[in-house]
Amino acid sequence: MIKKLSLILSLFIVSSAAFAQNWGGGIDDEDWSFGFNFQYISAEYKILKKQNWQSPFYEMPNSFGVTYDEGLGGQLVTNRINAISSKPAQGFGLGFVINRNISDNFDLRATPSLIFSDRVVSYEYEPLESVDIGNEEFRNFQTQIDKKVQATMFEFPLGIKVKSNRLNNFRAYWLGGAKYSIDIASKKKTFDEGEAAINKLLKNQRNYLSYETGIGFDLYFEYFKMSPEIKLSYSTGDILQHDDTAFANPIDKLKLRQLTFSLIFQ
C-alpha cells in the first residue's frame, strides 16, 4: 500500500511540474522575438454604385472608350445592368513576424507578408437577342461577366497586441492596427491597351491603406509558440482605378474586405 501511494504521489508531482513548466523557449521574456506565418485569405469588395449605374454603354467612335450616349452611333458594349456583386475569393500568404515586447500584456507587432489573392466583381445584364452584323454573322451579348482582379501584394501590417495573463501554456489576445499594401505585379496583370471595350480589365489602385482587428491564442510548446489567429481588414478608402470602361464607370467606390486566418510560429 505504501509503495502504491508513493508511486501515485510521485506521478502526480512529475505531471504537475511538467504542466506548470514555462514552455515556449522563454520567448515572452525576450524584448525582441521573430517568427513566420502561413495565411489563408478570403477577400471580397464592398461596392458603392453611381446613380446611373444601370445604364447601358456604347463604343466611342474612333476610340477604345465608352459612352452612355446612344446617339453617338457606336455599337452596344453592354446592355442594362441588373446587379453588380462580389463573392469571396480565396488566396494565401507567407510572411515574417517581428515582435517587440512592451510589457506583460502589450506587444508591438509587425508581420510583413507576400500575399497572392484574387478578387472578383460580377456583372449581371438584362438578356438581349443576338444582333446580325452581316455576312451571316451574329453578335451575342453575355448576361453575366466576371471580372477577376489578380493581386500579388506586399503587405506591412503594424499593430498592438493586447494579451491576457498566461494560464499555464495558453494565452488569449486581441490585435488592432493598420496595414499598408502595394501590388508588386500590377503593371503586368492590368495591361489592356488596345483591347476592345468588352475585354477591358477592372483595375485597382497600386497601393492603399487598411485598418484591421483580430483575435488569437498563444499556445506554448516545449521549444516554440504557435498562435492561430483570425483577422478582418477593411480598406480606408476607394481602391478602384477609375478609367473609362464599361466595368469601372458604374462604380462610385470600391472597398476591400479581407478575412485572414493565420498560423504563426515563434
13-33 pLDDT tens trace: 334 444 445 566 678 888 999
Torsion of CA 21, 25, 31, 33, to 10 degrees: -140
H or E segment and range at residue 6: helix 2-20
The owner of cell 452581316 is 134
For the question of whether the overall pTM of this predicted structure is more than 0.75, the answer is yes
Average pLDDT over residues 45-57: 93
Instruction: Point out the least confidently predicted range of 69-78, 150-159, 231-240.
Output: 69-78
pLDDT grade, residue 187 (50/70/90)?
low
Name which residue leads in pLDDT, 200 or 24. 200
pLDDT of residue 7: 44
pLDDT of residue 18: 42
The predicted-structure confidence for 77-128, as pLDDT tens digits, reads as follows 888 999 999 999 999 999 999 999 999 899 999 999 999 998 999 999 988 7
* 9 Cβ contact partners less than 8 Å away, ≥ 6 residues apart: none
Q: Which three cell numbers stand for residue 26?
A: 522563454
pLDDT attached to residue 262: 96
Higher pLDDT, 66 or 110: 110
Q: State percent of the chain over pLDDT 90.
A: 58
How far is 241 from 258, CA to CA, in rounded Å?
19
- Beta carbons of 99 and 124 less than 8 angstroms apart: no
Domains of the chain: 23-265 (2.40.160.20)
Q: Check residues 172 and 25 and name the one with the higher pLDDT.
A: 172
**Which are the contacts of 12, defined by CB distance < 8 A and separation ≥ 6?**
none
Cα(54)–Cα(100) distance, integer angstroms: 51
